[in-house]
Amino acid sequence: MGAFAQASLPANQTPIKIWVGASAGGTTDTMARAMAQALALQLSRVVLVENKTGAGGNLAADAVAKAPPDGLALLMSFTSHAINASLYPNLPFDPIKDFTPITLVSSSPSILVAHPSVGANNVAELIDLAKKRPGKLNFAIGGVGSSLHLAGDMFKLKSGANIANIPYRGTAPAIQDVLAGQVELMFANIGNAQQYIATGKLKALGVTSPKRLNAFADVPAIAEILPGFESSAWFGLFGPAKLSSELTKRLSEASINAIQTSEVRRRIEAEGATPVGNSPQEFAKFLEVDISRWREVVKFSGAKPE
């Protein structure tokens, strides 16, 4: 890998920067810093993380979209990269054409949870209850336009249930109000909800993965009741458009090797996510499907950028 670093990247040893469109300490930042350390060893080069917050990750994405295609500017992006394609009417970049996919780092389905007082123990019962009481049940959402918000709207779109949204400034206050019974329902990250499900403070109604998860084998996939339902939070590494095929291949190989290290896998799994590490071609296809999936839901939701 050291030979690749010298031959394929600029020879002046300028550090590689991984741009992150989220604040330090959050999940995206944690993923980026784990990858930066591992990539530095893979490429025998300094790899830094640069946080550029704002506009749902679009400021960092724009910086990378406009960077030279020399491999020194990378983007650790997340689900919003696909959602923003339809959420923002005038993006300063094309989320597909202006980037080179390198690899999907990790993916994390969410889980539909309810306060124990809710008179439904599975998705079918929830849909029935919501249709009997239209507009009376509420989803707590931790951020307008987030994947967790839109998972709720996808649920309403596919089920025909009328459930109101209660927006919060962040996941922490949202889940606290569900725990307190102030709001009945929430799509939550598995890492955030697992401890409360285990202690009976929340009940799990369904997971957003296409099939059941090993960690929640007794919790049905929502797709068992609503065919085609799928939602996940993901984190992926991009470069600017027009990266050479050789450089793209080598960056992808280095990234996949980094994801397979015990330290990076441990960091990913600590966030309730699953390590992936696929090819640039597979990641590109995944992104196209995800953008298409969210477009219909964004339109249905009427969500506007905050």
Q: What is the tens place of the pLDDT at every residue in 214-246?
A: 888 999 999 999 999 999 999 999 999 999 999
- The model's confidence at residue 52, banded by pLDDT at 50, 70 and 90, is very high
For the record, the structure tokens of 41 come out as 């060893």
- The model's confidence at residue 43, banded by pLDDT at 50, 70 and 90, is very high
Q: What is the tens place of the pLDDT at every residue in 83-134?
A: 999 999 899 999 999 999 999 999 999 999 999 999 999 999 999 999 999 9
CA-to-CA distance for 74 and 126, rounded, in angstroms? Answer: 43
- CATH top-level class for 2-108+233-301? alpha beta
* Residue range(s) occupied by CATH 3.40.190.10 in the chain: 109-224
CA-to-CA distance for 249 and 234, rounded, in angstroms? Answer: 21
Q: What is the tens place of the pLDDT at every residue in 277-301?
A: 999 999 999 999 999 999 999 999 9
Distances (CA, A) of 219 to 15, 93, 164, 201: 45, 40, 24, 16
pLDDT in the model for residue 27: 84
**What is the mean pLDDT of the segment spanning 39-44?**
95
Phi, psi for residue 164 in degrees, rounded to 5: -80, 155
**What is the mean pLDDT of the segment spanning 259-267?**
95
CB distance 228 to 216 below 8 Å: no
Distances (CA, A) of 270 to 73, 78, 135, 195: 27, 17, 36, 13
**What is the mean pLDDT of the segment spanning 158-178?**
93
User: In residues, how long is the chain?
Assistant: 306
Maximum separation of any 2 CA atoms in the chain, in Å:
67
**What is the mean pLDDT of the segment spanning 72-76?**
97
pLDDT at 271 over 70: yes
Torsion, CA 18, CA 23, CA 26, CA 28, rounded to 10: -30
H/E stretch holding 192 reads: helix 190-198
Least trusted range by pLDDT, from 2-11, 28-37, 192-201: 2-11
**What is the mean pLDDT of the segment spanning 264-272?**
88
pLDDT at 3 over 50: no
Across the chain, what does the average pLDDT equal? 92
- The model's confidence at residue 270, banded by pLDDT at 50, 70 and 90, is confident
**What is the mean pLDDT of the segment spanning 35-45?**
95
Cβ-proximal residues to 162 (8 Å cutoff; 6+ apart), any chain: 130, 131, 134, 135, 156
pLDDT in the model for residue 8: 65
- The model's confidence at residue 304, banded by pLDDT at 50, 70 and 90, is confident
pLDDT at 5 over 80: no
Q: Across-strand partners of 203?
A: 114
Question: Which CATH number applies to 109-224: 3.40.50.920, 3.40.50.300, 3.40.50.720, 3.40.190.10?
Answer: 3.40.190.10
| 99-114 and 138-141 strand pairing | unpaired
Distances (CA, A) of 265 to 96, 163, 270, 271: 27, 37, 8, 10
pLDDT in the model for residue 4: 44
* Residue range(s) occupied by CATH 3.40.190.150 in the chain: 2-108+233-301
Q: What is the tens place of the pLDDT at every residue in 101-114?
A: 999 999 999 999 99
